Amino acid sequence: MGKINEIGASLFAISPQLSEHNRALIEKHQLGFEILYDSGNETAAAYGLRWPLPDNLKALYSQFGIDLPTGNEDDSWTLPLPARYIVDCHGTIVYARTDPDYTRRPEPDETVTALAKLA
């Protein structure tokens, strides 16, 4: 967060989890940014990032005690694809990165480098 703030940028995350779950996550991991609640995963849908879990994954999630309908207060069984955007002060997306494989995410330094180019 330090480098991002030094550049003059702000960081936040968007999640379909209820706000109380997001607050707990922030406290548990001592995150230095807010997690905004995306009711019904609508923001993810607007960016083409919402995907429905197939029945076999619903069953697997249930076996692990993951109850998306309760945690998200939404029975759609959808999740957002992980994505990272940089939006300039005019509202233009100047950097976008997403991957359907949630384990492949850009390194934080990649984001800082892209931000620094705007400064």
CATH of the domain at 101: 3.40.30.10
- Measured between alpha carbons, how far is 51 from 27 in angstroms, rounded to an integer? 28
Give me the domain span that covers residue 52: 2-118
pLDDT at 64: 95
Give me 70's structure tokens.
């309760």
Give me 41's structure tokens.
């995963």
pLDDT at 103: 86
- Measured between alpha carbons, how far is 48 from 38 in angstroms, rounded to an integer? 14
Q: How confident is the model at residue 70 (pLDDT cuts 50, 70, 90)?
A: very high
Whole-prediction pTM: 0.83
Average of pLDDT values for 7-14? Answer: 91
| Overall domain count for the chain | 1
Count of CB atoms situated within 10 Å of the CB of 76: 15
| Residue 97 · residue 83 · CB < 8 Å | yes
Q: How confident is the model at residue 108 (pLDDT cuts 50, 70, 90)?
A: confident
